[in-house]
């Protein structure tokens, strides 16, 4: 437990812009509110980080930003479903005990009622906002995990991004109509738009890392899946049909048909640069 704690604490970073936000909060008399807000955000991100560390995920950083926080992992979709689900939910679940503690304190007169009510309001705000089905929020990550149950990883990423864009558009329209002059909300909205642009731009990179992890995995997956492909299908198009959580056998519908293993295909892709080669030409 001590090594896990040290591992998590070693990757904590504070964005330099946060000091500017803190200075403005002091000038405007809102420093106390800022401390409460970022304490709650920090606890939320620690929930993700500690759960990931317990599963021995590769932690990159926990960064506090002027508009929130992020716990970044060097993982690309090959961890078991239950691990990914628990790591995602570990952030929102922190708000449950914070809400319970603040509510008990408020009901029994323990502490400043104004501060306790503020803690309750901020927790609800962050919790509900974070569960929206929009990337890179936890709700968007849960949506992606759900979609990967039904379609291949690469297609799941694209579909989740399209769904996320749709929900973001709805959220953007509702927010602007209800709070047209809220500067904080405008900043958050533009951050989410920029995040979608980055996610869309990096789709191929994420899929490549997904495949590279599979190639380097020492153990096999528990579940098997057979993919049937025509003999003239390119190797990269075959790999686009790989699912999360499965080890694949590829049935090449040649004459006669034959099977090839996932590891053999990944080895040809990464070691022999067989990207655009037809799968039948590779194994005949």
* Residue pair 119/113 in contact by the 8 Å Cβ criterion: no
DSSP state of 217: -
What pLDDT shows up at residue 5?
A: 67
Q: Name the phi and psi angles at 236, rounded to 5.
A: -65, -30
User: Higher-confidence residue: 5 or 224?
Assistant: 224
- State mean pLDDT over 122-146: 94
User: 155-187 burial string, b = 16+ CB within 10 Å, else e?
Assistant: bbbebbbebbbebbeebbeeeeeeeeeeeeeee
227: CB partners within 8 A, 6+ apart = 238, 241, 242, 248, 249, 250, 251
Least confident residue range of 13-17, 117-121, 232-236: 13-17
User: Higher-confidence residue: 245 or 28?
Assistant: 245
Across the chain, the runs of DSSP E, i.e. the strands, are: 12-14, 59-65, 68-73, 223-229, 246-252, 258-261
What pLDDT shows up at residue 103?
A: 94
What pLDDT shows up at residue 65?
A: 73
Question: Known catalytic residue: 199?
Answer: no
- Share the mean pLDDT of the chain: 86
Residue 270 has pLDDT above 80, yes or no: yes
Q: How confident is the model at residue 161 (pLDDT cuts 50, 70, 90)?
A: very high
Least confident residue range of 28-37, 73-82, 85-94, 240-249: 28-37
pTM: 0.90
Task: Catalytic residue, from 33, 45, 72, 199: name it.
Answer: 45
* Residue pair 220/247 in contact by the 8 Å Cβ criterion: yes
Tokens found for residue 105? 């304190």
- State mean pLDDT over 66-78: 82
DSSP state of 72: E
- Chain segment 223-262, per-residue pLDDT in tens: 889 999 898 888 889 999 999 999 999 998 888 888 888 8
What pLDDT shows up at residue 10?
A: 67
H/E stretch holding 193 reads: helix 183-201
Q: How confident is the model at residue 281 (pLDDT cuts 50, 70, 90)?
A: confident
Residue 67 has pLDDT above 80, yes or no: no
Residue 18 has pLDDT above 60, yes or no: no
What are the domain boundaries of the chain?
A: 1-129, 131-218, 220-283
C-alpha span between 73 and 60 (Å, rounded): 5
Least confident residue range of 54-63, 111-120, 213-222: 213-222
User: Higher-confidence residue: 283 or 195?
Assistant: 195
- Chain segment 84-105, per-residue pLDDT in tens: 999 999 999 999 999 999 999 9
């Amino acid at each position: 437990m001590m090594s896990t704690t040290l591992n998590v604490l070693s990757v904590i970073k504070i964005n330099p812009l946060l000091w500017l936000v803190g200075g403005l909060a002091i000038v405007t008399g809102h420093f106390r509110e800022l401390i409460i807000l970022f304490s709650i955000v920090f606890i939320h991100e620690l929930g993700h980080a500690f759960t990931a560390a317990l599963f021995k995920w590769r932690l990159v950083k926990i960064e506090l930003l002027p508009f929130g926080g992020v716990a970044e992992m060097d993982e690309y979709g090959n961890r078991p479903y239950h691990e990914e689900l628990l790591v995602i939910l570990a952030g929102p679940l922190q708000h449950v005990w914070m809400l319970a503690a603040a509510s008990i304190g408020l009901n029994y007169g323990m502490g400043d009622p104004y501060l306790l009510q503020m803690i309750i309001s901020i927790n609800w705000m962050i919790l509900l906002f974070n569960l929206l089905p929009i990337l890179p929020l936890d709700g968007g990550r849960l949506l992606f995990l759900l979609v990967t149950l039904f379609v291949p990883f690469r297609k799941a990423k694209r579909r989740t991004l399209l769904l996320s864009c749709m929900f973001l558009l709805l959220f953007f329209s509702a927010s602007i109509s209800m709070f047209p002059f809220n500067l904080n909300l405008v900043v958050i909205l533009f951050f989410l738009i920029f995040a979608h642009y980055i996610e869309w731009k990096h789709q191929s990179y994420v899929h490549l890392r997904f495949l590279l992890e599979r190639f380097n995995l020492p153990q096999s997956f528990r579940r098997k899946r057979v993919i049937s492909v025509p003999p003239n299908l390119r190797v990269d198009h075959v790999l686009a049909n790989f699912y999360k959580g499965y080890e694949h056998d590829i049935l090449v519908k040649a004459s006669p048909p034959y099977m090839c293993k996932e590891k053999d295909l990944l080895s040809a892709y990464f070691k022999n640069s067989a990207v655009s080669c037809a799968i039948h030409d590779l194994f005949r």
